[in-house]
Structure 1
C-alpha cells in the first residue's frame, strides 16, 4: 500500500560485519572478566605469601623461644646496638629474651653476646637488675657476658651483672662514664636578629633551652645530676664485679676511658679472653646454641623507619639529649 513504510533491507555483507563486531565485543568482555579473576587470584596469593613470610619471621612463631627446644643447649641473647627504648636492645626486648632463656628447661647456661656502645642508663639499669634477679631465682643457671667488638658504658653496665665476662684481646671495654649533649644557638640567634620568647611557670623550667644563654648555677646543677648517675653506675659495677676488680680505686678506671680486652683483663674488668663459641664449648660444655633474642618483624622495622620517632629524635638533637652511658 502506498501509506506503508517498508523495513530497510540490510545487505548480507552488513549482517556479517555486525556479527563479527558482536563476537569481538563479547570476546573482549570475556577476556576482561578472565583477567579480573586472575588479578584477584594473584593478589590473594601475594597476601598469603606475605602473611606466611611475616609469620616465619615473627617471634610469635619461633619454636626456639616457646620452651620447645628440647635437648640441652646454651641459650644466646644478643645485646646489639644502642641500648634505648623502642630499639632492638631495649630493656623490654632483652629482659623478655632473658626470661624465656631461663625458663626453658633445656637451658644449661646463658650467654649475653654484647656489641654495643651503650645508651640509656635507665634501660641498662632495668636489664642489670633483671639479670641479678634471674641469677638468684635460677642459681644453677650461670650467665656469661661475651663482648665482641664493643662493650662500652651502658653495655658494660649490663655485662657487670653476669657471673663472668669474656672478651677478645682487641675488644673495646669500659667507658664507665655518663654524658649528655646538646647545642647552643644563642650566637646564631643574635646574628639573625631573632628574639627568643619563652614563658614558664618555674624559674628553671627552661634551663636546657638551646636558644637561651647558659646560666652557671644551672650548669652546676645539671653536672650534679650527671655525677649522681655516674655514681650509680660505679656502684653497680663494683657490686657486680666485687673483688675481681684489681684496683677499684684506680684513678682512671671510672673516668670514661675505654680499654682493650687485654688491658681490661689486667684491670679485672673481664675474667678471661674468649669468643661466644669458646665459652659455649669449653666453659659451659654445651656447644649447641639456641638464640632467644627477640627478632624485629618486617612490620616493626617499617614502622620504626617511617614512624613519628623521626620528629622526636630531631627535636632532641636540636635541643637536648638526655643522659647516656657512653
Structure 2
C-alpha cells in the first residue's frame, strides 16, 4: 500500500505527458495542412498569372496571334473573344500581320456568321495588315465558316478541315412513353409552336420546315466559303457534303493554301518572328475554375496512369 501513491503519480505523469504529445502532434498536423493549402494557393496563383509562352511586350514589329479555341457558343464566347482580340491586334501600329490560331470543332452558325462579318469589316478598315488562319488539330464547321474570311489558311498535314454542313440533333421518346403508358399533354398556341418536341410523334409537315431551315443555313455557309475562297475552290461533289478532310487533302481541294505552323507563317510569310498573343484572358473566376480542373485531371491521371515507361 505504501507504493500506491507513487504508482498513481507515475500514471498521472504519463497521462499528462501523452496529452502534451498529442497536442503537439495535432498542432504539427494543423501547421502542415495550412502550409500545404498555402502552397496550393500560391501555385494556383502562379499558374493563373504566368506567361502564356508568347511575348506580351509590344516591342517593335511583331506578328499578332489570336486563338479561336473550343466550341463556338454563347457560353464559351469563343467568337466574341476572337473579334475582341483581333480589334486590339489591328489597333497596334507595330502589328505586321495577324494569325488566328484555330482549334475548334465549330458551333453556332449565327455566332460564326457574326464573327465572319466582323472579320471582313476589320479587314476593310486595315487592308495593309494580312490575316491568316493556322489550323492546329481541327477547324471544322463553324470554325471553317470563320476561317473563310481570312486571306489564307495554313494547316498541318494531319489537321482536320471542312465539315461544311449543318446538323440538327434530337431524340424521340414518344414510342417509349406509349409502352410505359405515359400520356403526353402538350398545349400550344400556334400550330408549329411545339415543333421538335421529343415527347410527341414526328409531324411530317414540321419535319419539312426544319429541313428547309437547315438547307437555308447550309446555303448561307456555302456562299460564305465561296466568297472567301473564290477560284481556289476545286469542283468536288463532296466539298459541301459535310465531310472533313486531312490538311494534306484540303490543300488540293482549295480549302487550305498550304502547310504551315504559327512560327513558320510568322517567320516566312509575315516576316516578323516576334509573336504577341492578343487573345483576351478569361475573367478571374473562369481562370480559377479552369486551372482547378486541370489540376484535378492531372491528379486523376497520375493515380490511374498505366502507360509503359
Q: Same fold (TM over 0.5)?
A: yes
Report the equivalent of 1:26. 16
Structure 2 CA distance, aligned partners of 1:80 and 1:108? 23
**Runs of at least 5 residues in structure 2 that lack an aligned partner in the other structure:** 297-309
1:274 counterpart (238, 242, 260): 260
Report the equivalent of 1:68. 57
Structure 1 CA distance, aligned partners of 2:52 and 2:75? 24
- When residues 276 and 17 of structure 1 are mapped into structure 2, their CA distance, relative to the original with a 3 A threshold, is same
TM-score (norm 1): 0.73
What value does the CA root-mean-square deviation take over the aligned residues? 3.5
Report the equivalent of 1:51. 41
TM-score (norm 2): 0.76
Number of corresponding residues: 291
**Runs of at least 5 residues in structure 1 that lack an aligned partner in the other structure:** 1-9, 307-326
Helix, strand or coil at the partner of 1:77: strand
Deviations 1:270-316 (A, max 9, x none): 22332333212211223344555557645236679x9xxxxxxxxxx
Helix, strand or coil at the partner of 1:265: helix
Structure 1 CA distance, aligned partners of 2:211 and 2:115? 25
1:79 counterpart (42, 45, 68): 68
Structure 2 CA distance, aligned partners of 1:110 and 1:261? 21
1:195 counterpart (160, 183, 196): 183
Structure 2 CA distance, aligned partners of 1:200 and 1:301? 45
Between 227-236 and 172-181, report the one with greater CA deviation: 227-236
Helix, strand or coil at the partner of 2:269: helix
Report the equivalent of 1:184. 172
Q: Structure 1 residue 109 and structure 2 residue 86: aligned?
A: no
Report the equivalent of 2:27. 37
CA contact (8 A) 1:57 1:297 kept: no
Deviations 1:23-68 (A, max 9, x none): 223323322332233233223212221222221222x554778943
Structure 2 CA distance, aligned partners of 1:65 and 1:130? 25
Q: Structure 1 residue 220 and structure 2 residue 193: aligned?
A: no
Report the equivalent of 1:240. 228
Report the equivalent of 1:314. none
Based on CA coordinates, which of the two structures has the bigger radius of gyration? 1
